[in-house]
Amino acid sequence: MEWSWQVVYEVLPSMLDGLIVTVQASLVGALLAYVIGLFLALLKMSKTWIIAKTSYWVSECIRRTPLLVQLYFLFYVLPDFGIFLSPFVAGVIGLGIHFSTYTSEVYRAGIENVPKGQWEASRALNYNAYQTMRHVILPQAIPPMIPPLANYLITMFKETPLLSAITVVELFNAANIFSNSHYKYLEPMTLVGLFFLIISIPAAYAAMKLEQKYKPKNAG
């Protein structure tokens, strides 16, 4: 098997289009995961027993089933109930909801890790709930959340090829469609790997830097 630059030249344009879709899907999916995850975390920490339990189990059900199955459900099953999503929209919703169950745990852990004494101190200062969150809890809770949230963005980026199952032409699918009609796999699949590396290695490096920057100062 010989490496052919001709094949690289032919497949590159459609792969670059695919790369754009991949990046878009990761960013929009991550945004959804961050926002939905925050709501999910608040629901899980609710004082009302039934809300806390329900949201906990909903989140478990989503987290413990494969994303691929959820994507098929969103794309092929929901239209039968009258909910029609385009491939891209179904894809980012699937990614967003699936990963929101992970990010919600990050939020929850972040908030719960603020020492109890901080809450008591706020009460002693006669802060209301907003002031407690805004000035005491969140400034301590948010920094340690940032590195794991960034890591989930990278994980989601790597999961985007799953969207090919619901006809989203992202990076992998663009290469695969080319391979299927040209019978060449070496160059397109190598390029897929390279493109993912080109983006995920710097991203992982940035996440590592974030981790160092936001290392909890009161640790130990």
Partner 1 sequence: MIRLKLENCSRALALTVISAGLCMGAVSTVSAGTLEDLREQGYATVAVANEPPYSDIKGDGYVTGAAPDVARAVMAKLGVPELRAKVVGYGAMIPALMARRVDMATSGLYIKPKRCESIIYSEPDLCGAEAFAVKKGNPFNILTYEDIGNNKDVTMTTCAGCAEEAYALERGVSKDQIKIMTDPPSGIKMLQQGRVDVFALSGLGTADLLKNFNDPSLELIMPVMGVPMGCAGAAFNSDDTEFRNAYDQALAELKSSGEFAKIVEPYGFSAAATLAVKRDDFCPGN
Cα–Cα distance measured from residue 43 to residue 103, given in angstroms and rounded to the nearest whole number: 13
Residue 189 interacting with partner 1 (CB under 8 A) = no
| Closer residue to partner 1 in complex, CB, 186/203 | 186
Centroid of chain to Cα 199 = 15
List 54, 118, 132, 176, residue binding partner 1 (CB under 8 A): 176
- Counting residues that bind partner 1 (by CB under 8 A) gives 16
Residue 179 interacting with partner 1 (CB under 8 A) = yes
Residue 185 interacting with partner 1 (CB under 8 A) = yes
Residue 84 interacting with partner 1 (CB under 8 A) = yes
Beta carbons within 10 angstroms of residue 52's beta carbon: 14
Angle at 109 between CA 108 and CA 111, to 5 degrees: 65
Minimum CB distance to partner 1, residue 195 (Å): 20
DSSP string covering 48-67:
SHHHHHHHHHHHHHHHTS-H
Residues near partner 1 (CB under 8 A) are 76, 79, 84, 87, 165-167, 169, 173, 176-177, 179-181, 183, 185
